[in-house]
Chains A and B, each alone.
Chain A
Amino acid sequence: MNTHVRTLASVALVSLIGVAACDDDPTAPTENEQELITAVELTLTPAAGGAAIVTTINDPDGLGPQPPEAQDTPIALQAGAVYNGSVRFLDTSDPNDVEDITVEVREEDDEHRVFYTVVGLAGVEVPLASLDTDGNGAPLGLTFQIVTGAASGGEGSLGVVLSHFDDEPKGDGLTPSDETDASVSFTMTVG
């Protein structure tokens, strides 16, 4: 019977280990560690002087199923002008601790590129030469310019895509990668 006592003792011991290993309370709050991009902010300053336009597209659920919200400020540009632009990517999921992910993009500038696409506005362009560059001289695009032609006008949009080059080399930075970190579209009027 001695062996049975031992058996039971070891069974009890092992069961205790099992129960003690349990931290399975699903009502406990989860930790939030990984950063997400939840906001893209554009600042457009007329090169000739004047008030800057600051506008943001927020997507509080990040990759969640809710679509991004509409931009909070309309972009109304003058024809025949040049605007100095800059972009910021933010994690606003904790309002008390907004993270500026642009800092990391700048630190790893040889693995990132921001692409700008003007849709539906003839004569409006973002010249490649206006983009800032990374350490290798390839375009980065955290700052850029929008040039509106004298005859341009109407309503269109500005697509902003943050491409991430981790697996594939960025090279001359002219082709988007297959790893898009952010992709939003701002509506824009000229005239």
Chain B
Amino acid sequence: MRRVLLVAALLCCGSGALAAQAGVSGTVVDASTGFPLEGVWVGVDTLEAGVLSGPEGKFVYDGPPSVDGTLLARRIGYVTVRVDAVDGMRIEMTPNVEQLDGIDVSAEAAAVEARARRAQSTAFLDSEAIDRVQDQTLGGTIERVPGVAVIQYGPSIAKPVVRGLHSQRVVVSNDGVRQEGQQWGGEHAPEIDVFGADRIEIVRGPGAVEHGSDAMGGVVRIEPARLTRTAGWSGEVATHAFANNLQGAASMGLENGALDLPLLGTVSSRFRVTARRAGDATAPGFNLDNTGFSEFSVSGTLGWIGDRRRTEVTLSRYDTQLGLFSGAHVGNFDDLQRVIERGPRPTDFAYEIDNPRQEVTHDRVMVRHQALLDDGREVELSYAFQLNRRREFDNHGPLANRDVPAFGLDLYTHSVEGSYGVDHGDGTMRFGVSGMRQGNISVGKGYLIPQYRLYTGGAWVRDEHSFGAVTVNAGVRADYRWQRVFPPPDRGLDLELTTDTWADLSGGLGATWEFAQGWFVGSYVGRAWRAANVNERFSQGVHHGTAQYELGDATLDKESTTSVDATLRRTGERFRLQLNAFRNVIDGYVYLRPREPVLTIRGAYPAFEYRQSDAFLSGLELDLDVGVGAGIALFGQGSLIRGENRELDEPLYDMPADRMRTGVRWTPESRELRGLSVEASALLVREQDRVPAETVYGLPTEGYQLVDVGLGWSGLEVAGRELDVSLDVTNLLDRSYRDYLSRYRLFVNDPGRDVVLRLRMPLGG
């Protein structure tokens, strides 16, 4: 007898000696009513492609054979079952009262199926995977995904870079709402509580029309857990401890599917509170002064869930204080030279967060209504208000004003979205409209970007159509953008009231062909565009922490990209592969170019100005996982990217260095060790020598190698409770290295060895 335990995805596990025959057919029925069930996912396991049962509950499974001769049947609202695969089989499914309504059923089934057939290159982390890799920040959590890198300021600020692009070129969508934070610099990271993420999807490359026109690099989509309908309180407590910066983090999630509230009636509810405190990070033998940070977030969702309609209201606040490495905080060019030459001065570990620092809060109110109409049609409407407040505290200037921010920005965003989906039998078609009103207010004397008013409107349509083994995805989107920029009342700034409008089309077309069982080949052509942003057009000031003077250019036009992407994908239990190749042709790529220093009363600053130039980006991504028997799997994840300025014939600044992670994972097959997973991997990063000339920031970084080991146990029974526990050691050998995208790399090494302990315990239920 043989047991195959899949830590990542499996809910249950069956036994049997025979392999399932190709071409097993059967019927799925509701065990309580005997009625046939449509839309039940049938497959070997959730990592493989499966089939969906048809209108009469019938299915024909011709996917990859199962090792133990069983098939899994899943549908939201029913208990997942595993049954022996016999031709003509009848699968009875028991309704799960804890589960959800029709909207989730169609969404989940479609999502599982669509993922394997999507022409666009996509990576997906489910809740188990997130638990296993969850880091201090969103960026750190998705860093291992091929094609993703992070720009980092120590451990606290990690900005995701997808296919070499970041900031406004990567859309972060949180619970269906585009995150509107302040992405004016590398030191501005997304304001999201990673504990609240249940699923994360990373779409690489442009062309995901429902998220806006400007996702030139890609989309990071974060989804929270779905609302429960089970009455009574249940939840979880999760705690993380990080040895490197003596960080503690704890998060508690609670839910109650039938909460009686005055005036509001009986509602489904979900609440989460997260707190985090970190001290200085430590590079090998060196304390990174003032790199501590803290976070506090709360969120609550109430939902009115009917069989065919649901309304959700979510309120959330994310509050963080981030210290910036004091050794990198210099006054002018002479100071910068001094620090680089003699290195920063040694300090002792502290939790205290001193200047320079950032205080950021992000508040969100979101209301969404979904209704399931007849014939598989569905309507969704949502409204969101977001308020992002950012305060940056400088270490310079008169002492009496240390508690007055050097500059502050308040970003107010109202957005509405509406979409209509229809299941046309061979797939789904969806139409949508969206609108946004945004106001940016400056607070404080320092100037970074001007105040502005922004209106955007867009309409899109997207279709997925299956022709047997071939699935075609297509989408098109039209956008209009109106922006008025107000000159600051301050002295000396060369700025006038300007109003601009932009309009253009974006979209994509692609197809996937399942040329053999579990083997897919796909290609996608995507187009995206982006209006030059206020910081690119109107920046006039110093970015502290880098002593870098940035000057905008008000005449910058929009940039646009056309990307061709090819994917080879193998889904399966023992052999999984995703190989992507892409080429991005960018017209009018906006970037920072060095210019003569700017002289101020504080001395000279190295200066950069925003320019536009045509560019190429091309690259390869590999994600491979091969089982070699005895529960041992080998894996490899690699990214390679090349950025080229087509006009100047030189490399683009800020491209991630080539990297490859290879490792081995052991998930023991014995019953006693069920849920255990042990992993060791090595990360090899090549030197980044493809850098533009003439800038101190273009200094190449050397290659480095890191070894990581980890051990995780999900469902470990302790005192009658099932715990998820993991212990990871990153940079096991405590190597000194500097990543090219680390913004402190001119001054200090990146953080050294870290030991991370994660614990998750269910409550109630």
Q: Which of B105-113, B241-249, B393-401, B583-591 is found at the contact surface with chain A?
A: B393-401
Pick 14 A–B contacts, CB within 8 A, sort by A: A6-B263, A14-B313, A23-B412, A32-B444, A38-B491, A61-B491, A62-B601, A63-B602, A64-B491, A67-B598, A104-B399, A104-B400, A166-B395, A176-B335
> How far in angstroms is the closest Cβ of chain B from A95?
10
> Given that A25-B439, A26-B440, A63-B541 are contacting pairs, would A18 and B365 also be in contact in the complex, using a CB cutoff of 8 Å?
yes
**Lowest 9 CB-CB distances: which A-B pairs, in order?**
A61-B492, A24-B439, A180-B331, A183-B603, A18-B385, A24-B412, A26-B451, A59-B601, A178-B335
Number of interface residues of A (CB under 8 A): 64
Within 8 A of A (CB), among B376-404: 383, 385, 387, 394-401, 404
B498 → chain A, closest Cβ, in Å? 13
Contact across chains for B600 and A64 when beta carbons are under 8 A apart: yes
CA distance A64 to B446 in the complex (A): 9
**Per-position binary interface string of chain B over residues 302-327, scored 1 when its CB falls under 8 Å from any chain A CB and 0 otherwise:** 10101000010101000000000011
Proximity string of chain A (89-119) to chain B, C-beta cutoff 8 Å, 1 when within and 0 when not = 0010100000001001001100100000000
Could you say which residues of chain B place their CB within 8 Å of the CB of A3? 265, 304, 306
With a cutoff of 8 Å between Cβ atoms, the chain A residues found around residue B404 in the complex are 33-34
B331 touches A30 (CB 8 A): no
**Do the beta carbons of A32 and B492 come within 8 Å of each other?**
no
Contact (Cβ within 8 A) A14 B412: no
Question: Do B601 and A68 touch across chains, with their CB atoms under 8 A apart?
Answer: yes
Contact indicator A66/B439 (Cβ below 8 Å): no
Contact of B399 among A15, A17, A108 (CB under 8 A): A108
| B264 interface hit (Cβ, 8 Å) | yes
Q: Which of A18, A26, A63 contacts B600 (CB 8 A)?
A: A63
Whether the Cβ atoms of A32 and B395 lie closer than 8 Å is: no
> Which chain A residues numbered 15 to 41 have a C-beta less than 8 Å away from chain B?
15, 17-19, 21-40
- Across the interface, name the chain A residue whose C-beta is closest to B484: A26
Q: Does B334 contact A (CB under 8 A)?
A: yes
How many cross-chain pairs have Cβ atoms below 8 Å apart between A and B? 213
Contact of A182 among B363, B442, B446, B601 (CB under 8 A): B601
A3 and B394 alpha carbons, distance in the complex (Å) = 51
Whether B335 pairs with A180 at a CB distance below 8 angstroms is: yes
CB contacts (< 8 Å) of A107 on chain B: these are 399
Q: Which residues of B contact A62 (CB under 8 A)?
A: 491-492, 600-601
Q: With A and B bound together, what is the CA distance between A23 and B486 in angstroms? A: 16
Q: Which of A17, A35, A111, A168 is close to B401, meaning CB atoms less than 8 Å apart?
A: A35
B447 at the interface (CB under 8 A from A): yes
Partner of A61, one of B313, B486, B493: B493
Contact A34/B331 with A40-B601, A168-B345, A182-B601 known, Cβ cut-off 8 Å? no
Is A34's CB under 8 angstroms from B445's CB? yes
Shortest beta-carbon distance from B577 to chain A in Å: 46
Q: Please, how many angstroms separate the alpha-carbon atoms of A176 and B551 in the complex? A: 28
Of all chain B residues, which has the CB nearest A29?
B489
- Tell me if A170 counts as interface (CB < 8 A to partner B): no
Tell whether B332 is near chain A: CB-to-CB under 8 Å.
yes
Q: Which residues of A contact B446 (CB under 8 A)?
A: 34, 63
A11 CB within 8 Å of chain B: yes
Bound CA–CA A7/B309 (angstroms): 11
Residues of B within 8 A of A184 (CB): 601
Q: Is the CB of A176 within 8 A of B601?
A: no
B414-A67 in contact (CB<8A)? no
For residue B339, CB closer than 8 A to chain A, the reply is: yes
Interface assignment of A53: CB less than 8 Å from any CB of chain B: no
Complex interface: chain A residues within 8 A of B410 (CB): 24
Tell me the chain B residues, 276-315 only, with Cβ under 8 Å from chain A.
289, 302, 304, 306, 311, 313, 315
Report Cα–Cα, A62/B407, bound state, in Å: 14
The one of B289, B336, B396, B406 in contact with A164, judged by C-beta atoms closer than 8 angstroms, is: B396
Find out whether the CB atom of B395 lies under 8 angstroms from the CB atom of A167: yes
Choose from A2, A25, A35, A65 the contact partner of B551 (Cβ within 8 Å). A65
Q: Which residues on A sit within 8 Å (CB–CB) of B603?
A: 161, 180, 182-183
In the bound complex, do residue B401 and residue A34 qualify as a contact, i.e. CB atoms below 8 Å apart?
A: yes
Q: Is B740 an interface residue (CB 8 A)?
A: no
**CB-based contact A179/B401 at 8 Å:** no
A31 and B412 within 8 A (CB): no
Q: Does B490 contact A (CB under 8 A)?
A: yes
Please name all residues of chain B whose beta carbon is closer than 8 Å to the beta carbon of A111 when the two chains form the complex: 399
From A181, which residue of chain B is reached at the shortest CB distance?
B396
Of residues 531 through 560 on chain B, the ones whose CB sits less than 8 Å from some CB of chain A are 540-542, 549, 551
Of B311, B440, B444, the residue contacting A7 (CB under 8 A) is: B311
Chain A positions within 8 Å of B327 at CB level: 167, 178
Which of B363, B367, B441, B598 lies in contact with A24, CB distance below 8 A? B441
